[in-house]
A and B are shown apart, each in its own frame.
Chain A
Amino acid sequence: MRGIHISILFFVFFIVLPLFLSSTYYLDLLIVIFLYASLALSWDILARTGQISFAHHAFFGIGAYVSVLLYLKGVNPLVGMVAGGFASAMAAFLLGLATLRLRGMYFAIATLAFAGFIHIAVLQLSDYTGGAGGITLDEPLFGGNIYAAYSLALLICLVTITTSLLLERSRLYYAMKVIANNETVAKTIGINVTKTILLIFTLSSIFPGVIGAYYVHYIAFVNPEIAFNVGIALAVLAMGVFGGMGTTFGPVLGAAILRIVEEQLRVTITYGHMIVYGIILIAVILLFPTGLLGLWEKVRRRVSSSFEGITQI
């Protein structure tokens, strides 16, 4: 239960933090970090079954557009967020049904194709979606109250973390681990592989949907470039890999570090700051494939084993 205590500590810390921040710039940065942490973590939940999705930005976009279209019909943004999450989970369920038997790179290709298809469909159905020009909302989230927006982003992030922690303590977690390591073994010991993957895929896609809906209300604007930005898929991948895949705090840590780095780079180099994500992906996979948390674990183990050596002498 150590994880729960840490979560509560985090929650209290971040709830009081805005009182000590002088500028809304930092609040905005924190909001984006929360959103990315949640995105990266929800992506990682699926990756724990060994399935890599390149469609996280598509679910983000689906949530964004569903909530905006509902908002234009007069629906409250908060209800829109729930609807966005639901719509994106439904889309994931259907995509999951269509790709039930796909694993590894074929699943990855199928998700990438799905993301591209949705993007083009939204561009083409401009009568409903506003096409490439997008839709401007008349009012940002909570009438522009950044503290309220901050709290909601924090809440979304914490719900994601809690979901991940609960999953780690459930029987499902072991099923996912076995599927990732050896599917034949998983089948042999009676795990329903396709059902598990479908369930996790649907569950993990709720979050990008909600976050997409949140984000477009936060910036009060949506267009296909924002909603279906491949950069999101790239960023969550890099964050998960960098922090440490298959853990709860790895992707969150990765999101926090990489967002801050990107924010700094955006100021210094305008173009091509995405290169950092690429270099990180290559370097991490080649040098420490288990990510920062894995590296930390290795260092800790080495230190403790050298201590054991000393006590034995």
Chain B
Amino acid sequence: MDGFFVQILVNGLVNSGIYIMVALGLALSVGVLGILNISHGNLLIFTTYLTYWFWRLWGLDPLISLVITVPTGFVLGAIVYRGVLKHVLDAPHINQLILTFGIAVVLSSLMELFWSSNVRFVSTSYQAISLSLGIAQIGSLSAAILIVAFSVCLLLHLFLTKTNTGKSIRAVSQNPKGAALVGIDVNRVYLVTFGVSIALGSFAGVFWLLIGYITPYVGDILTLKAFCIIVVAGLGNLYGVIWASLLLGLSESFVKGYFGPGWADAVFFAIIMFSPNLQIFQGG
């Protein structure tokens, strides 16, 4: 294996780490609420802007401000659920799709109005530190992303299997009526799920900011990539998300390395179009 190949592999893994965190949230909300949230990426980038301004105005380190951003993501998700989505739970899928699309447009327009469409990035002392892996380099941040992504998966797994809230989330996702019959407050579960879904995304947003930049439109791309992942993984299949993210992250990285960066953005479209899972689903 030459260094170039290994470097591409490492970059792909790091991207996958971020995608996992974005897509897990989306898979969770689709699986439990049954609503495909087109505003997922926009909501999480909204919280990332907070991180940016904390850093810009008060010099707060982005990693430290995770303590604020992630709960903010939860609250934002809860507000959106309580204010909007709660009213369309029984509405036709078309209405739900259009509604979340509307939220996405409102959010990205708001971000454009508040903070302009300028490219925003942060610079911290640890961004430049990189570790040598013999024939390839890995940034300290990239290594951190891999560890964080792994921990997030593990924590989510523990949350869903060990805690009461997590168990009730799974129960509701399997059968809302049955869950309600045994005394689970379905509405509360929906609220928590949606909050957790955006909170997970907020993690990803901060790391996205640290290794790249944000604009009001980054959210749309993240939503699309997360769609791609959950389609490959299968609707609401959380464990499949990990493999699907690796597939997307690695293939993007290889296309970027061998065919140039322009085509890399087409990878997720190609994966969606040719995903066998997409064909399996009928009715929506």
Contact = CB atoms under 8 A, between A and B. Distances in A.
Given A271-B116, A272-B112, A285 B224 contact: no
A10 interface: no
Interface stretch (B50-58, B190-198, B276-284): B276-284
B211 to A, nearest CB: 22
B80 to A, nearest CB: 10
Chain B facing A: main interface SS: helix
Contact of B106 (A120, A124, A275): A275
Contacts, number: 130
Contact of B262 (A47, A120, A277): A120
A113 B269 contact: yes
Chain A facing B: main interface SS: helix
Interface string A262-278: 00000000011111011
Contacts of A103: 281-284
Interface residues of A, number: 44
Interface stretch (B6-14, B96-104, B131-139, B142-150): B96-104
Interface residues of B, number: 45
A186 to B, nearest CB: 12
A101 B278 CA distance: 9
B128 interface: no
Given A109-B227, A271-B117, A286-B84, A117 B105 contact: no
Given A101-B282, A104-B283, A113-B272, A271 B113 contact: yes
B177 interface: no
Interface string B96-130: 01110111111111101100110000000000000
Given A52-B94, A113-B224, A124 B231 contact: no
B36 interface: yes
Contacts of B84: 282, 286
A120 B221 CA distance: 13
A219 interface: no
Interface string A84-126: 0000000000000011011111111110111011001101100
B109 to A, nearest CB: 3
A168 interface: no
Contacts of A241: 98
Interface of B: 36, 84, 87-88, 91, 93-95, 97-99, 101-110, 112-113, 116-117, 220, 224, 227-228, 231, 262-263, 265-266, 268-270, 272-273, 278-279, 281-284
Given A286-B88, A286-B99, 8 more contacts: A105-B93, A105-B284, A117-B273, A124-B263, A279-B106, A281-B99, A282-B84, A286-B84
20 contacts: A52-B97, A104-B283, A113-B227, A113-B228, A114-B269, A120-B263, A120-B265, A124-B262, A183-B283, A271-B116, A273-B109, A275-B110, A278-B105, A278-B106, A279-B102, A282-B99, A282-B103, A285-B99, A285-B102, A286-B99
